[in-house]
Amino acid sequence: MLKALILQVIVLIGSSLSYQINGKWYCRNNMDCLPWESKNTETLPKIYETQNLCRLMCGKFRGLWPQVTRICNIEKSVNPVNFELITFDYPNDNENIKDFYEQVTLLFKRNLIEECGKSCSMQSNNSLHIRISVVDKSLMLNSLTDESYRLNISTMTDNEITVQISAKTIFGTRHALETLSQLMVKTVDDNDQNGLLIVSSADILDKPFYQHRGLLIDTARHFISIASLMKILDGMSANKMNVFHWHITDSQSFPMEIKRRPEMHGNGAFSKDKVYFKSDIDKIVQYAKYRGIRVIFELDAPAHAGKGWEWGEKSGLGKLAVCVDDQPWRKSCIQPNCGQLNPSNENLYSVLHDIYQDIRDYKEKNEFIHMGGDEVFVKCWNNTKEITDYMATKNYDRNNVIGFLQLWSEFQGKALNIWDNITDEKESIVMWSSELTLPENIEKFLPKERYIIQTWIPNNSDIPQKLLDKGYRLIMTTKNAWYFDHGFWGNTKYYNWKTVYANTLPRNELVLGGEVCMWSEYLDEHSIEMKIFPRLNAAAERLWANPKTDLNAVESRFYRQRERIVAKGIQADAILTEYCTLFEGECRG
Amino acid sequence: MYISETQDFISSPYLTHINNVVKNSEMLLANYTDERNRSSVTEPWTYSCEKNKCIRKLHSDLSSEVRVTFLSCAMTCGDNVNIWPLPKSAQMKKTIQNIHLSNIQYKIETPFPNVADLMHKAVALFVSDIKQVMKANGADFGSKSINEENVTVNILMKILEFNETILTMQSDECYHLFIKQQDTSLNISITSKTFFGARHALETLQQLIWYDDAIHSLRILNSVNINDCPKFNYRGLMLDTSRHYFSVGSIKRIITGMAHVKLNRFHWHIVDSQSFPFVSEFYPELSKYGAYSSKEVYTHSDISEIVEFAEVRGIQVITEIDAPAHAGNGWQFGSEKGLGELSLCINQQPWNRYCGEPPCGQLNPKNNNTYMVLEKLYSEIVNLTKTTDIFHLGGDEVNFDCWRQFFKGADLKKLWCDFMIEAYDRLVTANNDESIKYATIWNSEFEKVKCLPAENFTIQVWLAKNPELKRFIDSKYNLIISHVDAWYFDCGFGTWRSTSGEGVCPPFKAWYTVYNYQPWNELYLTSEQMKQILGGEACMWTETVDEYSVDIKIWPRASALAERLWSDIKKFSIPVETVQRFSIFHTRFLDLGLKSDVIWPEYCEQNLNECII
């Protein structure tokens, strides 16, 4: 009897899907995709077999994320494509360009498999031919790289669908392929085979609003493995985010291999496995580049430098850093463990010279270097005799914060000189906003031609505007929206994706863009993905398209993009109940 | 990860091309993650025990000495008993014996074959946990350890008094764990009245064993005497599988974590108005209409699998069919089947008038068939989960505006009371006419609840504070504590509805908030009244979490809850010792292959004394 019952259930479940998901979806008010129920009595709308197909046909921006900024004409029909019959025609002027396109087209196909499923074997006679043409074939990726692209999908002739991609740079064409993969959607044919549909025609012209669209990851408070970083880079590329700001060291650890000074990581890593060796770093930079992502290295200084710097005395170089591991730590720094570089020690600068050379070799030419510059703790220096003696010889006033700013800017000036001596051109330096960069101080210490300021201030502060008025270039990290570590410690508040999305930056050409920050005191690689995703997607659309904020209209598209991130194996957080994602628009109000 | 998904790739010729794409992109990744040249760096840190503290030092400064790993120091230095949750009483000498996995033997003494069966399985889990810990610490199972010593480890387990394997509110979970070395034999004796005590003892034992990668050996403290008992019988974790579906695998992962911290009740909020993933054999229409998809369901065999999985781990599964509110999708089938409207206001708009969150749906209290269906569901659950003396009837957040549309002029409060009492009667029928002492409902206002007899109904309190809380006690109700301001794990991630505020939910409850919550202290209860507090439960509502992020939201906070409920150390602030012990346990939790959020920076994990003010 029991067996019979069980059989009956299996038959029921197998034979009919839940009525809610019965393969009939429609687009309501050109906005929401919902299951079609026969009891609805309005005129019969166009019915789609899956929600994702409906999404691709519904609304101005369909399932695209981030939204397209210039021209976005997409036909409301689709054609099947045979995955086996996708071909490319791309520039192969030299081995490097050929290699780049091999990788980029492979990643494109990987996107398609993530969409289609692992057996994407639907039979179809339709081939897809993708022609890519580029004006400037340089493989240099930096802040000057043009990322715009044009994408045309043309109507099928003789079973051939043609896609034409053109862009100024090869990185623009990479973005185009990312967009193209979002214009294709999974289908299941009558033989139960997975396959792909592509919109039958489209004309897209796209260009980012902000050139700097970044994510900071702190790998010093917790070590994050390169496999984990790569997964995050995958997620960034799906969002056309283009800057990985690598806060690679801090007072707590120094995991970056320094070939010229192996004492640094030898003393500073949490364990022998928790080191980014040169080979790792080179691979990350290359891996990022295939995904259109720049890597900006930050060597935070003079504060936030402790572990890794303690070996100076033993080697006869004196104290490179002071206050290292001081207890009680509250007297010498803002969080344990303490440590701050010793600007009075000339040997510090020769060590810095070596470290900078290693970083110069790691990074792309003409890419920014980030020199840190946040949270200098005056008391630490003030309690160190070696430093106060030095200040006396320089006539820096110990009783006035200006005296310490002079000492700090002397350090910064020397650091800049070292950097200029080892690089061919005068590159731009990024620094965190600080006392040194206050509108009333900054011009005394940091020339605007050389320095870009990364602000990390709440959105009600007028400091960014004052810095813009003085002509400084800014990268903005709105502290009360884009600090992704908030909400898990102390009195900080979590910013959900809506807050992240709604955060706008000034429209000013000196604002290069923005970054969200993933500080890692309270996460490691187990929890980093759900803290970054899907919120990063929200920042990505803000920075790429800078759209008007209408959260109701973007919610479904946002969820679609979240699904793509999950398909990459990223453990993203959820934002809505599953019901609300199926019944779009029914959970508003 | 993407890669593991592709392992079961079929190798038909047609798929070769796709295979290549996947393989190529795997290689792309493999290329980057292959063995790195690590020879340039040796393990930097060694630890020395100074003034009862483990101090991290550069090994290169002391390279003539054998490196001391963090755990080998932490397990032997100072007075900390590095067990989570903290045992009631523990004496130990901090002396180490190196042991070998293959030299561990065990013996079970019990008159009950079913207990013996289960105990064998529990031991197998224990061994696989130890292996997992070894692997996580870089053990090479092929090679012999440097300090190979031929010590035999004999584990003797005696369970003489009870044969129960599913908990009741009276179950004894105490155990005695005694470790003593005599020459080359290390004797571990575990004594308990029940299976539960013995499996908890293995969990404790597992935490006394670690792998030292400096000497390549498994190690154990060899002189230990622990007498341990939980403070509360009910130590629960609730998972809502209706707002999002959770795969059987992800549920097992959560139960595994629970077992490691001796949490013992998995409260499964299996259905709600959003979806009905439970496949009833009597009424398959419920899941047909109510599941998100044909794959997102729990069949009888899924549930049995989970119940068995939990049973070996000393955990009871309590499955809740929330009623009469929180019942919408799935229940539409009534009229089609000639049963009339079983549920009202299903998916009614504007939702905010007829329910607390979309979509709406509330059972029809005046349709006798509603109770008939409920009774059948109860009987299925009773059989599947081997119900003992506790069951969850839901009962929360009834929206009178929904019912008022249909029952004008009726006393709606009475309607609710009558509903709950009828539901209880049906439950008793489903339970072969045996009454259930702890039929649990979520708390509504006291005024609503008082119609329900305290000898049958237990209140799971999520809102009521003093003085209302005290009134529940005075009215003799048994209570399970789940207050939203301490033990709701969904809070603090912002509102997902576009207009409504966040209500009582925010902020996020950090682990120390979870740990520090001890509301019974403020009630000034007599010891007799204290018995009415059965325990507590953390709630993982899943509006904004699915199986990808759920581990991070549950752990390590549920571990903090576990110690509150097991040990209940009365302190106003969290002692330094506790933070350090928690940090050590956190690392163990990860070594066991589970996922968790962190407690503090990695530097602090390695320097336990440096990060406390």
Q: Which residues of A touch B289 (CB under 8 A)?
A: 18-20
* CA closest to A279 among chain B residues: B36
Q: How much of chain A, in percent, has pLDDT values that exceed 70?
A: 95
CA gap A206, A72 in Å, rounded: 8
Which whole number is the average pLDDT over A460-478? 98
- Judge: B492–A103 Cβ closer than 8 Å, yes or no: no
Nearest to B510 among A221, A277, A489 (CB): A489
Nearest to A578 among B275, B351, B497 (CB): B275
* CA closest to B137 among chain A residues: A273
The distance of A549 to chain B (nearest Cα, Å) reads: 13
pLDDT over 50 (residue A18): no
Name the least confident of A51-60, A358-367, B39-48. Answer: B39-48
Q: Quick one: which H or E segment has residue A105?
A: helix A95-116
Residue type, A570: I
The per-residue pLDDT of chain A, averaged, comes to 93
Residue type, B282: F
Residue B273: strand pairing partners: none
pLDDT over 50 (residue B10): no
Among B601, B600, B595, B588, CA closest to B136: B588
Greater model confidence, B370 or A365: B370
Which whole number is the average pLDDT over B57-73? 88
| Confidence band of B1 (pLDDT split at 50, 70, 90) | very low
pTM over the 0.90 mark: yes
What is the structure's pLDDT at B25? 57
| CA dihedral of A413, A416, A417, A422, whole degrees rounded to 10 | 170
pLDDT over 50 (residue A7): no
| Confidence band of B13 (pLDDT split at 50, 70, 90) | very low
What is the structure's pLDDT at B43? 83
What is the structure's pLDDT at B2? 31
What is the structure's pLDDT at B611? 86
| Confidence band of A41 (pLDDT split at 50, 70, 90) | low
Name the least confident of B192-196, B450-454, B563-567. Answer: B450-454
Q: Are strands A127-136 and A160-169 parallel, antiparallel or unpaired?
A: parallel
Per-residue pLDDT of A262-306, as tens digits, reads 999 999 999 999 999 999 999 999 999 999 999 999 999 999 999
According to DSSP, residue B357 is labeled S
Q: Which residues of B touch A327 (CB under 8 A)?
A: 610
The per-residue pLDDT of chain B, averaged, comes to 91
The distance of B147 to chain A (nearest Cα, Å) reads: 23
Q: Are strands B265-271 and B234-240 parallel, antiparallel or unpaired?
A: parallel
What is the structure's pLDDT at A459? 95
List helix spans (H) across B285-388.
Answer: 285-290, 300-312, 333-336, 351-354, 368-385
Name the least confident of A238-247, A405-414, B142-151, B372-381. Answer: B142-151
pLDDT over 50 (residue A3): no
Q: Are strands B362-363 and B343-344 parallel, antiparallel or unpaired?
A: antiparallel
What domains lie within chain B, and their CATH numbers? 2-228 (3.30.379.10)
What is the structure's pLDDT at B327? 97
| Confidence band of B8 (pLDDT split at 50, 70, 90) | very low
What is the structure's pLDDT at B37? 47
Nearest to A488 among B25, B510, B607 (CB): B510
- 3-state secondary structure at position B404: helix
- 3-state secondary structure at position B153: strand
Residue type, B516: N
- Judge: A119–B10 Cβ closer than 8 Å, yes or no: yes
pLDDT over 90 (residue A39): no
Residue with the two structure tokens 């809102």: B463
Which whole number is the average pLDDT over B144-149? 60
- Judge: A113–B17 Cβ closer than 8 Å, yes or no: no
- Judge: A227–B32 Cβ closer than 8 Å, yes or no: yes
Catalytic residue among A49, A160, A375, A525: A375
Which whole number is the average pLDDT over A312-339? 93
Greater model confidence, A156 or A356: A356
The distance of A568 to chain B (nearest Cα, Å) reads: 6
What is the structure's pLDDT at B62? 75
Would you say B420 and B393 are in contact if contact means Cβ atoms under 8 Å apart? yes
Nearest to B545 among A265, A529, A573 (CB): A573
- Judge: A494–B274 Cβ closer than 8 Å, yes or no: no
Which whole number is the average pLDDT over A326-349? 93
- Cα-flanking dihedrals φ and ψ of residue B468, to 5°? -60, -40
- Cβ-Cβ contacts under 8 Å for B302 (sequence gap 6 or more): B248
Q: Which residues of A touch B239 (CB under 8 A)?
A: none
pLDDT over 90 (residue B11): no
The ipTM (two decimal places) reads 0.89
CA gap B309, B434 in Å, rounded: 26
| Confidence band of A44 (pLDDT split at 50, 70, 90) | confident
CA gap A489, A482 in Å, rounded: 15
| Confidence band of B193 (pLDDT split at 50, 70, 90) | very high
- How many CB pairs (< 8 A) connect A and B? 278
| Confidence band of B142 (pLDDT split at 50, 70, 90) | low
Would you say A581 and A559 are in contact if contact means Cβ atoms under 8 Å apart? yes
Catalytic residue among B161, B308, B397, B422: B397
**Active-site annotation holds for B397:** yes
What is the structure's pLDDT at B147? 57
Per-residue pLDDT of B465-475, as tens digits, reads 888 999 999 99
Q: How much of chain A, in percent, has pLDDT values that exceed 90?
A: 88
* CA closest to A532 among chain B residues: B549
Would you say B275 and B543 are in contact if contact means Cβ atoms under 8 Å apart? no
CA gap B276, B331 in Å, rounded: 9
pLDDT over 90 (residue B267): yes
Residue type, A513: G
Would you say B218 and B143 are in contact if contact means Cβ atoms under 8 Å apart? no
Nearest to B496 among A336, A572, A576 (CB): A576
Per-residue pLDDT of B293-309, as tens digits, reads 999 999 999 999 999 99
Residue A169: strand pairing partners: A136
What is the structure's pLDDT at A14? 32
Q: Are strands B316-323 and B390-394 parallel, antiparallel or unpaired?
A: parallel
Radius of gyration of the CA atoms of chain B, in A: 26
Per-residue pLDDT of B568-577, as tens digits, reads 998 888 899 9
pLDDT over 50 (residue B136): yes
| Confidence band of A118 (pLDDT split at 50, 70, 90) | confident
Residue type, A328: P
The distance of B429 to chain A (nearest Cα, Å) reads: 20
Residue with the two structure tokens 């079609």: A36
Would you say A227 and B4 are in contact if contact means Cβ atoms under 8 Å apart? no
- Cβ-Cβ contacts under 8 Å for A143 (sequence gap 6 or more): A211, A212, A294, A366, A367, A368, A428, A512
What is the structure's pLDDT at B496? 82
What is the structure's pLDDT at B498? 65
A563–B contact, CB cutoff 8 A: no
Would you say B32 and A279 are in contact if contact means Cβ atoms under 8 Å apart? no
pLDDT over 70 (residue B423): yes
Which whole number is the average pLDDT over A187-195? 93
Would you say A234 and A226 are in contact if contact means Cβ atoms under 8 Å apart? no
What are the structure tokens assigned to A363, written together? Answer: 């990074």
Mapping DSSP onto H, E and C, the string for A540-552 reads HHHHHHCCCCCHH
Would you say B127 and B104 are in contact if contact means Cβ atoms under 8 Å apart? yes
Per-residue pLDDT of A505-558, as tens digits, reads 999 999 999 999 999 999 999 999 999 999 999 999 999 999 998 888 899 999
pLDDT over 90 (residue A577): yes
- Judge: A579–B243 Cβ closer than 8 Å, yes or no: yes
- Judge: A575–B601 Cβ closer than 8 Å, yes or no: no
According to DSSP, residue A65 is labeled S
Chain A segment 221-250 residues within 8 A of B by beta carbon are 221-223, 226-227, 230-231
pLDDT over 50 (residue A55): yes
User: What is the separation of C-alpha B58 from the centre of its chain, rounded to a whole number of angstroms?
Assistant: 39
- Judge: A330–B499 Cβ closer than 8 Å, yes or no: no
